[in-house]
Every structure is written in C-alpha cells, then in structure tokens.
Structure 1
C-alpha cells in the first residue's frame, strides 16, 4: 500500500469509530489552545478489537515501507493514548517497549521514561495525535535526556494545518510520520460521512485555521497565550 492508501484507510477507520466530531455552534479547543470546529478522537480506535488491529496493521505497513529493517531498537509510547498504540506496534514488530511521561513522575526514581532503560537505544516515538508538535518536543527531550536516540515520530493523525509545526520538529531533529491527515479524511469522506454543512465548515477552517481560531476565541498565533 502507498502512503496515500494507508492514509485513506486510517481515515475510514476513524469514521467507523465515530472519531470525527463536528460542532458548528460551539467550537472545540484543542490541547494546544487552537479553536476548531472539528475534534478527532483517535482514542476511540482503542476500544474496538477490529479497529485497533486494523490501525496497527496499517502502522506496521507504513513503517516497513518508510524505514529500513533494523532502524529501531525500541518503541516508546507517549503518555497517555500513545502507550497502547505503541504496545501493539511493538508486539507486532518484536521491538522493546517503553513509555514516556509528559514530565518526570516526581516520586521514587523521578523517572520520565518507564519500562526499562533507553540509554544507547534507537527509539521510535509513537503517539495518537499531533497538533502543533509541542508535546512531541517534550517527549523527545525526555527520551534523549535518558540517553535514547530519537529522530522519528509516528502518529496516527496529524492536524497538518497549523503554522510552524513542521519547522519546530525539524529544528529539534525530529521527522514526523503521520498515518493520516486532513487531506486523507476529506478524500475518505467522499460525501458519505460528513453532512454538507459540516464539510463546508471544516473546509473554511482548513483554509485559514489561525483566522478561524482567532474568530472563535482560540489561540491566535504560535506565541504562548497570555
């Protein structure tokens, strides 16, 4: 399967899971602070055995095409929803499994990385969702501070419309590998899943997400909100 075929297949799984939520009246505020008329709840893939097997199959297919054999020693799931996806991926690929917290635990060993040492290991970071990339920088820092080599991030869905995300990750020495993006969702929809009014609102949002967010009380720039 090509990357485009994988993207559309993942998007169809998201539709099957009921993970694409649209609200034209009351905008959602994403974790990064952006206001959006649509919320993608990738975690809904977790609960259905057929859907989680299918998305794991697609993730493994993507990785086999994108990375030479033997590229990684371990998979690290990002707290919280990235952990189960990483576990299934690690099981399928026979790689070591770790998970990384948003911040050190604060008790005991004050660890940020759990499941075993990562010193000297080449680690693939796995998460469910990427918006502007900020949390991925923190997870990568945690893994690197524990001695891991982290250059690649695999994410199920990427809000690939907010400015600066790719540049921020690139500056941090990270390459993002999304299984699906908004283009995949709109192609997979084909007028069957989204109401016409909802699709039109999503397209208005995607045309200028920063302006849409600003008009609806969300974040207005890449700078921290004050």
Structure 2
C-alpha cells in the first residue's frame, strides 16, 4: 500500500457515497466508492496512476491488462506513465469480429499485470485471470486502487494471484479523518 495520505483523502472525498448498494458479489453495503468519480477526473486519474507505478514490477511485465470497465482507464493512464502497453479485458469474449477477450494485442505467452479499480471478494479478477490463463497468458499479480477488505487478497492468493492495492478502505477512512 502507498503512504500518500493526501491522495487517499482526495479519493475518499471525491468518491465515497453512503446509502444501500448491492455489490457485484451480492453483498449489500452501506457505503460505496464510486471509482468513476475519480477515474473520470484527468488530474486525479494521473495521480492515481503515478501512485501505482512503484507497484509495477520493473521487469517481467509485457502488458497491463485493464479489466472492464473500471480497470481500463487506469491501465491506459498507467501505460502512459510507464510505457508498458495496455490491453482491454472484456467480461466475456466478443461473439463477432475478432472474438477476443482482450483487445489491444495477443495474450498468449505474455506476462500480464491485471489492473482493477476496486476489489471486494476478488471474484471479477479471478474470473478474468482464469479466462486469460486459458488463452495462454502468464499472470502472477494484480494491482488495484482500493481493497474493500472483504476477502479479495485471500481469494486471489488461493488462485495463485498476488494482489497489491494502493489503499484499503481503512486507509481511505483514516485519511478522511485527518
């Protein structure tokens, strides 16, 4: 995790919502981080990408695999600041045209770093990694902005994926109190 308290506070203030929200995992949460609110802000998106750079291995990454939809803008901006090519990973392969799961290049025998915005249970990342691995991709790590602290890192570790996060929900809450 990063120690950028100012960025954590800004993310919290920009994207924290309260109410009743059903998460992808089916869990009902009373707070939600609307990542699109910080991802659609070009200055904030660049700050987040720059904070992610130290978590990108210096060697051994052929492409950044941004997951649909929230991981794609992050992967694009991270690609801009690192020079590593980006791929855009769909939730499921197209049934027309190229019929690809990942747009922007082949995945076979390429070492990918999966990029995601928010991880809760890790289910979306795990599904994407399994599909990419079935197509020959080599994946050991995933990088996200926010770990909701709901079992994602353990679930992914069980699938041989090391999850790195910039912030946990606890980090964001603590930063908001400062």
TM-score range, shorter chain: over 0.9
The answer for the alignment partner of 1:46 in structure 2 is 39
Any stretches of 5+ residues in structure 1 without a counterpart? 192-226
Find the aligned partners of 1:15 and 1:173 in 2 and give their Cα distance.
Answer: 30
Instruction: After TM superposition, give the deviation of residue 41 of structure 1 in Å.
Output: 0.7
Q: Are 1:186 and 2:173 matched, yes or no?
A: yes
8 Å CA contact 1:100–1:142 kept in 2: the answer is no
Q: Are 1:134 and 2:123 matched, yes or no?
A: yes
Q: What's the secondary structure of 1:123's corresponding residue?
A: strand
Q: Aligned to 1:123, which of 99, 112, 132?
A: 112
Q: How many residues align?
A: 178
Instruction: After TM superposition, give the deviation of residue 16 of structure 1 in Å.
Output: 3.9
Instruction: After TM superposition, give the deviation of residue 15 of structure 1 in Å.
Output: 2.7
Could you report, residue by residue, the CA deviation over 1:30-83 in whole angstroms, capped at 9, with x for unpaired residues?
Answer: 1211111101111111222221111111111333xxx3x212111110011111
Q: Quick check: which one's strand share is greater?
A: 2
Any stretches of 5+ residues in structure 2 without a counterpart? none
The 1:50/1:109 distance shift into structure 2, 3 A limit, reads: closer
Q: What's the secondary structure of 1:90's corresponding residue?
A: helix
Task: State the Cα RMSD in Å.
Answer: 1.6
Instruction: After TM superposition, give the deviation of residue 184 of structure 1 in Å.
Output: 0.5
Instruction: After TM superposition, give the deviation of residue 167 of structure 1 in Å.
Output: 2.9
The answer for the alignment partner of 1:103 in structure 2 is 92
Instruction: After TM superposition, give the deviation of residue 4 of structure 1 in Å.
Output: 4.5
Q: Give TM-score, length-normalised by structure 1.
A: 0.74
